[in-house]
Structure 1
Amino acid sequence: MKLKPKITIEDYFGELEDPRIERTKKHKLIDIITITICAVICGADSWIDIEVFGKCKYKWLKKFLELPNGIPSHDTFGRVFSLLNPEHLQQIFLKWIQSISSFTQGEIVAIDGKTLRHSYDRSKDKPALQMISAWATTNGLVLGQSIVDEKSNEITAIPDGQLTVRRATAHSCPHLLKVLSLSGCIVTLDAIGCQKEIVKQITEQDADYVITLKKNQGGLYERVENLFKKALMSNFEGFIKSEYKVKDEGHGRQEVRYYQMLSNVAEEIDPDWQWLNLNSIGYVEYLRVENGTDKTSLERRYFISSLNNNIKLFASSVREHWCIENQCHWILDVQFNEDDSRIRKDNAPANMAILRHLALNLLKQEKTLKVGVKAKRKKAGWDENYLLKVLRN
């Protein structure tokens, strides 16, 4: 992914529809949004945190915000974000991402789900919110997100545009894959995304895919496993085979990753041609050895893919997929305290999840400070000039 010239984000939120009735508008919506984004960047995790941040930074905020009635209360922040339409906020997020970045050929886009564990509300029989995110692994940017249907799972969040938000009136959220410009990219998904409709959509968007298989997927998993056995027994005669081996050492252990790929296998794996552009199958075998002990573990995972006889690209796609866990979900949990967030009312959890993604992207793009996201959040809270630098990325 190539980053385009820097553009400030303030202009985009002027388009956001204000859900409040006129007589309740003591504070401008753009002021509420701007204070919240700044506060989340600087370490705020709750509505009270955001109010305290606003009051501490009042003189600084007053330089570029109107603040006709001062800093809103934490109740006001909570009420406004519970009413805002997450679909509209998502559209603005997508516009901003598209304005600052463009894909390069072979960009790996990892798609995975995450549960906001404390967003449930027992009093309203509301389960924890689940979000599906798309992650550009090269630059470490969240490209977009969708809310999972409360009665479903990740499968419907990817191909089905009718996703619901927990409130009296359900919203139709944008189709996560359709809103992304994926031409020339490689989309990676865990086994939950191994669906014919998803593969069809990726292919129609001129992208490749690498998708994990699991044993509970029955026939497909067995056909892939058996074909590798058949190839091995025949010493790979009649098969197009490629292989690749990587050895890593660190964190008190050694890991050997062995990748193998069989190409041009669609007729044997999918004789009815139900999986579009299925060109290859592959596996990765992980051998882990704990240093100084006899402990070893061996694990194998199988995949289907549209890639054709390119083992290094396959290996890179498999490896890079886990960046969304390590560089996105883990940071949101540990450094943004997302799992512990008690923001629960109506649309507020979904809207705050989007703003956390926005804050994470802004902090990741700021390259002058060579520290982690947590330290950047602290510095942004302490140093207003640095906060401005983050906002202008």
Structure 2
Amino acid sequence: MPATPVCPTTASIVDTDDPVLGGLADIPSAPRELREVIAQIPDPRKARGIRHRIPAVVLLAATAVVAGACSFAAIAQWAHDCGRELLDTAGMADAQIPSKPTIRRILEQIDAHTFDLLVYEWMRLSFTTIDGRRIIACDGKTVRGAKDSDGNQPHLLAAMDHRTGAVIGQADVAAKTNEIPMLRELLGQFDLTDRVVTVDALHTQRGTIEHIVSRGGHVVMTVKKNQPALHKELAALPWSRIDGESAVDRSHGRRVRRTIKAAQVPAGVAGFPLIGQVVQIRRTRTVHGRKHVELVYLISDLDMAHAQPAEIAAWVRGHWGIENRVHYVRDVTYREDASRIRTGSGPRVMATLRNLALGMHRAAGHRNIAAACRHYQHCLQDAIKLVLTSGTPTLT
């Protein structure tokens, strides 16, 4: 067995003062450990000849992905680096350490939909609030390196908790459909009562807002010219006669003035029901002395008595966290778009393992995911402890 590395302190890669991560220590601990959840995955194999249990292999894969593994080969190499004794102690090895073909075969055979439901139900235990509200961002991502037998690339629609950046739900968008109807299936995993759902312009649809509100939820939608009648009617509102709030941002080497205005409009504007208010965000960017003006329109079923325009604008900015904190990290740190995993459930299962790793990293207080992966790659016991206890590793 290789010598277990001596782990340096993790304090250097944990940002306890981050306003987004602040308060994660207050999240109630899960009533079940992750290993209990993984143990519920059904085994599609015949009982005769089984040498490796599915829970042991999935836990091993999850731990390797926490340490930055991006492929089946990397998972197998990480397992052999750990050695038999360490994996036996953690309950992640059976008759022998699983090989790459064994890991690939098992992860490609398990029911990806059931795996998603089990993992994300457990992940939702970390659901947190912002100013008393629970806010969900929904957006899709294509796994560009993978293709099925018909040449279609997997496209996964995910839901993210705004505050923690943890993915708390995922649905597979089949080749013969698109994100719009699949959003309802994804949201079917949640109790939407008093939740706020933020979506991009693709999902600005009458049926979507009716579905979310009918289930007790609230919605914030961006309006673009894919809804031409609605966009034209919102742009024609008397914005010049409405007072707004302005703020100037000088970060990132540029000057940006944001002016937020809000108007309440009669229900059924441009055929859209249940609109409580319209928010206009005017962004004036000054770069090298040149001004660039951008207008964005938002609609919400919440009226001004229940949500201030500045809150709605902040929720929309938080919505793009799913791009920066989930999709970007999966693409850059985990090289998802370069992954050649294609067969069976492999692409979707690996995407779920990456989302699971991101959630556990952030719950442990890590802001820089790449640095966290490097730490756990060298500190095998910390990685195993993180997955098996589902909590923050002990700082040394």
Deviation track 1:210-248 (CA, whole Å, cap 9, x = no partner) reads: 10112122222222222x2xx246x35xxxxx6332221
Shift of 1:327: 1.1
Q: Could you tell me whether the CA contact under 8 Å between 1:244 and 1:311 is conserved in 2? A: no
- Write the letter of the residue equivalent to 2:232: E
Structure 2 Cα separation of the partners of residues 328 and 256 of structure 1: 27
Structure 2 residues without counterparts, runs of 5 or longer:
1-23, 392-396
User: 1:201 aligns to what?
Assistant: 211
1:106 aligns with 2:133: yes
- Relative to structure 1, the CA distance from residue 138 to residue 331 in structure 2 (aligned partners, 3 Å threshold; closer, same or farther) is same
- The answer to whether the Cα contact below 8 Å between 2:129 and 2:163 also exists between their aligned partners in 1 is no
Q: Distance in 2 between matches of 1:66 and 1:330?
A: 30
CA deviations on 1:290-336 (whole Å, 9 max, x unpaired) are: 2xx23332211212211212212111112111111111111111111
Match of 1:326 among 303, 324, 327: 324
Alpha-carbon distance in structure 2 between the residues aligned to 1:304 and 1:176: 21
Distance across 2 between alignment mates of 1:355 and 1:46: 11
Aligned to 1:283: 280
Higher relative contact order, structure no. (Cα contacts within 8 Å, ≥ 6 residues apart): 2
Of 296, 306, 327, the residue aligned with 1:301 is: 296
- Distance, in Å, in 2 between the alignment partners of 1:16 and 1:103 is 30
State the match for 1:167 in structure 2.
none
Runs (5+) with no aligned partner, structure 1: 160-174, 237-241
Matched, 1:51 2:47: no
- 2:195 aligned partner, one-letter code: C
**8 Å Cα contact 2:254/2:286 also seen in 1:** yes
Q: Say if 1:101 and 1:322 are closer, same or farther in 2 by CA, change over 3 A.
A: closer
Aligned mates of 2:190, 2:183 — CA distance in 1: 12
Deviations 1:6-29 (A, max 9, x none): 452111111100112223522111
- Counterpart amino acid of 1:78? R
Give the equivalent residue in structure 2 for 1:188.
198
Alignment of 1:1-393 (within 5 A): 3-6=27-30, 7-58=32-83, 59-65=85-91, 67-101=93-127, 103=129, 105-121=132-148, 124-159=149-184, 175-226=185-236, 228=237, 231-232=238-239, 235-236=241-242, 243-267=244-268, 269-270=269-270, 275=273, 277-290=274-287, 293-309=288-304, 310-367=308-365, 372-391=368-387, 392-393=390-391
1:24–1:190 Cα change, 3 Å: farther
Percent identity (aligned): 26
1:283–1:24 Cα change, 3 Å: farther
The letter of the residue matching 1:384 is L
Say whether the 8 Å CA contact 2:88–2:94 is kept in structure 1. Answer: no
Does the Cα contact within 8 Å between 1:108 and 1:320 map onto a contact in 2? no
The DSSP-based 3-state class of the residue aligned with 1:63 is helix
**8 A contact 2:128–2:163 mirrored in 1:** no
SS of match in other structure, 1:16: coil
Query: Could you tell me how far 1:389 is from its partner in structure 2?
Result: 4.4
Size of the aligned set, in residue pairs, is 359
CA distance in 2, matches of 1:68, 1:319: 47
Aligned-pair CA distance for 1:130:
0.8
Whole-Å Cα distance in 1 between the matches of residues 45 and 261 of structure 2?
Answer: 57
TM-score, with length taken from structure 2: 0.85
- Distance apart, 1:103 and its partner CA: 4.8
Secondary structure at the residue paired with 2:193? coil
Distance, in Å, in 1 between the alignment partners of 2:286 and 2:128 is 40
Task: Determine the C-alpha separation between the residues in 1 that align with 2:188 and 2:247.
Answer: 35
Structure 1 residue 131: Cα displacement: 0.8
Provide the alpha-carbon RMSD of the alignment.
Answer: 2.0
Shift of 1:66: 6.1
How far apart are the structure 1 equivalents of 2:257 and 2:346? 44
Alpha carbons of structure 1 residues 232 and 374: separation in structure 2 relative to 1, 3 Å: closer
> What is the identity, as a one-letter code, of the residue corresponding to 2:228?
G
Cα distance change on mapping 1:128 and 1:328 into 2, 3 Å: same
Question: Displacement, 1:154?
Answer: 1.4
